[in-house]
Structure 1
Amino acid sequence: MPDVRATASVLHLDLDAFFAAVEQRDKPSLRGKPVVVGGTGGRGVVATASYEARVHGVRSAMSTREARSRCPHAAYLAGRFPAYREASVVVMELLRSLSPLVEPLSLDEAFVDLAAAGLPDLEVDTVTAVAQEVRAELHRRTGGLTASVGLATSKFMAKVASDLDKPDGLVVVPPGSEPELLRPMHVSVIPGVGPATTERLRRAGLHQVADLERVSLEELVRLVGRAHGTSLHELCRAQDDRPVVAEREAKSVSVEGTYETDLTDRRLMEGLLTRQAGEVAARLAAGGQSGRTVSIKVRLHDFTTLSRSATLDSPTDRPAVVARVARALLADLDTSGGVRLLGVGVSGLADWVQDDLFGGTGVTGVDEEVVDLPTEVPVDPRRHRTAWAPGADVVHDHHGRGWVWGSGRGVVTVRFETAETPPGPVRSFAVDDPALRHWTRPDPLDPADGETTAAEAPTAVPTENPSPAPTPPS
């Protein structure tokens, strides 16, 4: 049985409705109102919903179409990843100032090992006071964002604790109280227990964690397999000795896009894969990495997802090589029925590069996989330079900075306000008005000038009947 800490010195921090909260912070007119961030077209998927939208039943990974039917009065925004990364960097720097052992899980979530923080002691009162100070400082540094925090003896229990009092909550699980807290909970609270495992356990009469606790290791292994059964046997007893790891090694780098209409033109698909390959290669080069396995992901019109991969003789970060392999992999697939999603990825990462000197792909093996109905949130492509994505930052020569309220039929509507101003006025312009252009904040992970022209700015895909601008709040 794993050795578990004797102190509640693992902190799990989860920023509340992160993307939506950043949008509300930066757009004063949306504060206290429902906001949904994600794909804004008919095939979009919700990435994050504010708590004001959640009360109407809007949830992450829900289709945007269903979200609009549940909460038609929400602001539906395409997302601004530089703004999210900027906030994330502030939060992670705060956590690293507390402890050298910080394990980011995503932009908005991290574990912190307080045992490495040099605290005078690790008693419950001490770690609770530290967590309260972290939450207050986070709120101050990020301009009003909040986080839910859990403290416990393990990563598993800290994650469970942070989910118990959302949003803006703090829950400490005193050492020794873990089984009592877990027993009434549904089995799905345990990592890895998804719908399929939940159904298998239900058929065996196992609904709550307490039910799992009464089952032998051998029976759990018979039900769900050795690795999963062993994990369930330990976690239902709150046995988790996984350390907080400061650096999580990237396993792969990938880029993908979901399209408003099914793609049938093979040359267009090859062009999109080539562009995605360039983005992947640029990210590899920026990180001083390369990879041997190039893969593509193709979601067909019927939601079947096909994956193909090829392994090179040596690692590469060259966009031409990645693109050439990606196009070759696409050639083997039947896409005549239409394609909804395309993606390129590179795995088998290394910190050195040795391409074939004569420009060949050096492919040594091809693997394939078919997966139905994946769960990741798709990302809208950026294939129309004059589109104005809802929520995008803009600047006007006379009115200053604002954001896109909505667009369609040759008109873009902008609300002129920022995080530092009160709710501002709304103005409409022709989509090609030369005085209006996109404004891009410096990306902390990719420093650049703060302003781009409208022709250079990343945008979402326009539709034939764009969503109308939401009615400005009175």
Structure 2
Amino acid sequence: MSDGSIATEDDEVAGGPSGLRKIIHVDMDAFFASVEQRDNPDLRGKPVAVGGSSGRGVVAAASYEARKFGVRSAMPSVTAKRLCPDLIFVRHRFDAYKEASRTIRKIFAHHTPLVEPLSLDEAYLDVTEDLLGIGSATRIAELIRQEIKAKTKLTASAGISYNKFLAKIASDQNKPDGMCVIRPGQGADFVAGLPVRRFHGVGPKGAEKMAKLGVQTGADLAAKDIEWLREHFGSMGGYLFRAARGIDLRPVRSSRVRKSVGGERTFSEDISAGPALRETLENIIDIVWGHIEKAEAKGRTVTLKLKYSDFQSMTRAKSVPHLIETRGEFESLSRALLEEILPLPKPIRLMGLTLSKLDGVEDEKDTKRPDAQLSLL
């Protein structure tokens, strides 16, 4: 397991002739909140949350000073304020975030054309054959981080490995402003010691279900055969089987197109009353619209998903002939979908919203995979 130190050329992540790729996952540190602290010196060193502070507000991003108190993105603002009474709320400024993101992407393009952005603040880079002929993925990651800091006054963390799954896990290992390298032959051992919650796509409810089945670490997952995983986790079973072994064959796709943007929330208690459902919808609208703006997505279809207390699911969708470009229209369509089905026949345990039929994407069924939709679980 890497300690985050710089690798030598002899230790470098293999690629090229060996058939292994050199992948970097770059993830900006508390991006929205960091931009706000950069641009307003009065906020530096203080707990900051980007989002609305009203009763229905939701935290879109939290500074590391706020995270020490347990404040997290997608958390209701009232909860965040209770955890951190001195929390400072600021409204989002997406123009500033997009400007910083454009600068960062130009830095990426200086090293490789194979860049797969996931959002404004993170991306995969395949540097198996880098444009400057540096050869070392670790050195490239260090140079990228240095240049980002010099040009934007923001910090980034990076994970370096031979596939996307491992690189993404590694980028979170030494945050903030850190690096981690997982070299060939180390993937399975590295994953074995991780809690399942660190696996991309596994939320608190999923981790809770796994714990009840005796699965708490990557090693526990690796001990299960694929049939058992599919029986208990459906279509996600294959992904969990491969991930537990450090296997990921997905290439970095510079032309990758997101087909939907959305999120969902599982409740600690089932809800059925109209007022509670409407308030929950408003919170989810707030969260999902933040994801939509972050991904710079514009689409034509809004889908409402409900999962009843007996685990049966129901979806309703509305499409318009033009691109949905404003929060107001997204809100209106989302509310209309809920009002059409009230009162509900039974309580629900989950609600979600998705924007699909995105601009420039062919009308086809989205492929289910761990990174196909942003989860709020």
TM-score, with normalisation over the residues of structure 2? 0.70
Find the aligned partners of 1:204 and 1:294 in 2 and give their Cα distance.
35
- Once residues 220 and 324 of structure 2 are traced to their aligned partners in structure 1, the CA distance between those partners, rounded to angstroms, is 53
- What does residue 66 of structure 1 align with? 79
Distance 2:96 2:52 in 1: 17
Deviation at 1:325, TM superposition (A): 8.3
Match of 1:197 among 192, 201, 206: 206
Q: How does 1:288-299 map to 2 (within 5 A)?
A: 291=300, 293=301, 295=303
- Aligned equivalents of 2:110, 2:142: Cα separation in 1: 15
SS in 2 for 1:181: helix
1:48 corresponds to which residue?
Answer: 61
Aligned to 1:220: 229
Aligned to 1:77: 90
SS at match of 2:200: coil
Following superposition, the deviation at residue 335 of structure 1 comes to 8.2
Task: Deviation per CA, 1:75-121: give whole Å up to 9, x if none.
Answer: 21121111111111111121122111111111111111112423546
1:246 maps to 254
Q: Please state which structure has a larger fraction of its residues in helix.
A: 2
In structure 2, what residue type is equivalent to 1:151?
I
Q: How does 1:72-471 map to 2 (within 5 A)?
A: 72-118=85-131, 120=133, 122=135, 126-142=136-152, 144-225=153-234, 227-252=235-260, 291=300, 293=301, 295=303, 308-310=316-318, 316-317=322-323, 332-334=340-342, 347-349=356-358
One-letter amino acid of the structure 1 residue matched with residue 237 of structure 2: G
1:207, CA displacement in angstroms?
Answer: 1.3
Q: Which of 10, 16, 21 is the equivalent residue of 2:29?
A: 16
The equivalent position to 2:48 in structure 1, one of 35, 59, 62, is: 35
Q: Could you tell me how far apart the structure 1 residues matched to 2:335 and 2:63 are?
A: 39
Alpha-carbon RMSD across the aligned residues, in angstroms, is 4.0
For 1:245 and 1:208, locate their aligned partners in 2 and report how far apart those are by CA, in whole Å: 30
Q: For each residue in 1:143-178, what CA deviation from the matched residue of structure 2 results, as whole angstroms up to 9, or x when unmatched?
A: x10001000001100011001101000111111111
User: How far apart, in 2, do the equivalents of 1:41 and 1:184 lie?
Assistant: 41
Which deviations, in whole Å up to 9, do the C-alpha atoms of 1:351-395 show, x marking residues without a partner?
59xxxxxxxxxxxxxxxxxxxxx9659xxxxxxxxxxxxxxxxxx
Give 1:297 deviation, angstroms. Answer: 8.5
* 2:124 match: secondary structure: strand
Q: 1:380-418: per-residue Cα shift (whole Å, max 9, x none)?
A: xxxxxxxxxxxxxxxxxxxxxxxxxxxxxxxxxxxxxxx
Contact 2:49 2:62 in 1 (8 A): yes
State, as a whole percentage, how many aligned pairs show the same letter: 41
Distance in 2, matches of 1:79 and 1:44, equals 12
Q: Give the SS at the match of 2:110.
A: helix
Question: Which residue identity does 1:85 align to in structure 2?
Answer: K
How far apart, in 1, do the equivalents of 2:105 and 2:142 lie?
16
- Contact residue 166 and residue 187 of structure 2 kept, 8 A: yes
Q: Is the 8 A contact 1:8 1:172 kept in 2?
A: no
Q: CA–CA distance in 2 between the matches of 1:59 and 1:325? A: 28
Tell me, yes or no, if the aligned pair for 2:38 and 2:44 is still in contact at 8 Å: yes
* Paired residues of 2:219 and 2:244 also in contact (CA < 8 A): yes
**How far 1:193 moved relative to its partner?**
2.2
Q: Using the alignment, how far apart are the partners of 2:108 and 2:118 within structure 1? A: 13
Contact 1:53 1:71 survives alignment (8 Å): yes
One-letter code aligned to 2:148: L
> Counterparts of 1:222 and 1:68 in 2: how far apart (Å)?
41
Compared CA separation, residues 197 and 333, structure 1 to 2 (3 A): closer
Give the residue type in structure 2 aligned to 1:137.
Answer: E
* SS of residue matched to 1:98: coil
Post-superposition offset of 1:248:
2.6
AA matched with 1:10: I
The structure whose Rg is larger is 1
* Inter-CA distance 115–296: structure 2 relative to 1 (3 Å threshold): same
- Deviates most, 77-86 or 191-200: 191-200
Letter in 1 for 2:83: R
> Within 2, Cα distance between the matches of 1:9 and 1:131?
11
> In 2, Cα distance between the equivalents of 1:325 and 1:46?
23
Aligned length: 309
Cα distance in 1 for residues equivalent to 2:324 and 2:178: 46
Kept in 2: contact 1:152–1:175 (CA 8 A)? yes
1:35–1:221 distance in 2 versus 1, CA, 3 Å:
same
Distance, in Å, in 2 between the alignment partners of 1:347 and 1:53 is 33
